[in-house]
Amino acid sequence: MVQLDPQRLPVHLAVIMDGNGRWAQQRMLKRIVGHQRGAETVKMVVEQASLLGIKYLTLFAFSSENWSRPILEVRALMTLLKKYIRQETARMLRKNIRYNVIGNRSDLPPDVNDTLDEAIRKTASNDGMVLTLALSYGGRQELCRAAAHLAKDAISGKVSVAAITPDLFDSYLDTGGLPDPDFLIRTSGEMRISNFLLWQLAYTELYFTDTNWPDFTINELHKALADFQSRERRFGKTSDQILQRGGLSND
């Protein structure tokens, strides 16, 4: 077993859950079977993250670009998502987990939105882990939505142009109120961001593993977190500054 320092876990863990289709195809199974098995991995990671005391977990479940997949796969994914949320809400309540969604919800089918609304409402007063699902989510689309909203507020005089800072802009994003991810895991061997959290990942530590999402295990999760704990986050400073002054000094 990997040793983890409970004091040095990421506050916010983000995951690009990739490789469901390849997992299935390698076994001569339909891609949707890979997504079904992937949903089991989601349960495990949600449970582990909450047990470890991670405060924010964000999962990339469906991208803006994933709408271009074959219609049958898209439909199957929406059905699976609905089933997952319905089945898991009771467990989320027991584990004090709060649901949150980022992305362009107006593109989602009405029945999926109803299911999400119900889950969000039921878990709204939970103050344990915040589980954010990125659905119909694209980083560039989110940035454009934020810019459009901010432009509207500037034109109406609610915000002055001089007041536009990174903090203010951040508050216009879907993730407003969430801290930036400390750690990002992507499975399946692809080393790219695929339009996920483009603004928020500015200083995130990145971790890539060849394992396909349905095969991702508790041990692999712990191994990834141990890797995170071995890293020195400098945020532009020198290593000496971080080691000598705990990273708090501006000297």
State which residue, 18 or 88, has the beta carbon closest to ligand IPE.
18
Joined together, the tokens standing for residue 176 give 């407003």
Q: Are 139 and 99 in contact (CB under 8 A)?
A: no
Task: Name which of residues 1 to 20 contact Mg ion (CB under 5 A).
Answer: 18
Among 39, 41, 60, 174, binds ligand IPE (CB under 6 A): 60
- With contacts defined by CB under 6 A, how many residues of the chain interact with ligand IPE? 17
Nearer of residues 30 and 223 to ligand IPE, judged by Cβ: 30
Q: Yes or no: say if 2 and 46 are a contact pair by the CB < 8 Å rule.
A: no
Which residue matches tokens 């708090």? 248
Residues 6 or more apart whose CB falls under 8 angstroms from that of 7 comprise none
Q: 3-class SS at 96?
A: coil
Nearest to 115 by CA among 73, 77, 83: 83
Options 16-24, 46-54, 201-209, 222-230: segment touching ligand IPE (CB under 6 A):
16-24
Binding to ligand IPE by residue 79, rule CB under 6 A?
no
Least distance to Mg ion, CB of residue 63, Å: 9
Q: Pick the piece of the chain touching ligand IPE (CB under 6 A) from 3-11, 12-20, 41-49, 124-132.
A: 12-20
Which residue of 46, 54, 61, 108 would you call a contact of ligand IPE, by CB under 6 A? 61
- Indicate whether 194 belongs to the interface with ligand IPE (CB under 6 A): yes
CA angle 118, 138, 45 (to 5 degrees): 60
Dump the DSSP string for 2-21: ----GGGS-SEEEEE---HH
Smallest distance from ligand IPE to CB 48, Å:
19
Is 184:126 a contact under the CB 8 Å cutoff?
Answer: no
Q: Is 142 an interacting residue with respect to Mg ion (CB under 5 A)?
A: no
Q: Where are the alpha helices (DSSP H) in 53-138?
A: 71-94, 110-122
Is 18 a binding residue for ligand IPE by CB under 6 A? The answer is yes
Residue (18 or 174) nearer to Mg ion, CB: 18
Which residues have a Cβ under 8 Å from the Cβ of 107 and sit 6 or more positions away?
64, 67, 136
Of 109 and 128, nearer to ligand IPE (C-beta) is 109
- 182 is an interface residue for Mg ion by CB under 5 A: no
CB of 22 to ligand IPE, least distance (A): 3
Tokens of 26: 């390698």
- 224: amino acid identity, one letter: A
**Per CB under 6 A, 216 contacts ligand IPE:** no
Neighbour-count burial of 81, counting CB atoms closer than 10 A to its CB (0-12 exposed, 13-18 middle, 19+ buried): buried
Q: Active-site residues: which are they?
A: 18, 66
In whole angstroms, the minimum distance from the beta carbon of 136 to Mg ion comes to 16
Binding partner of 174, given ligand IPE, Mg ion, none, CB within 5-8 angstroms per partner class: none
Q: Which residues bind ligand IPE (CB under 6 A)?
A: 16-22, 60-63, 66, 77, 188, 190, 192, 194
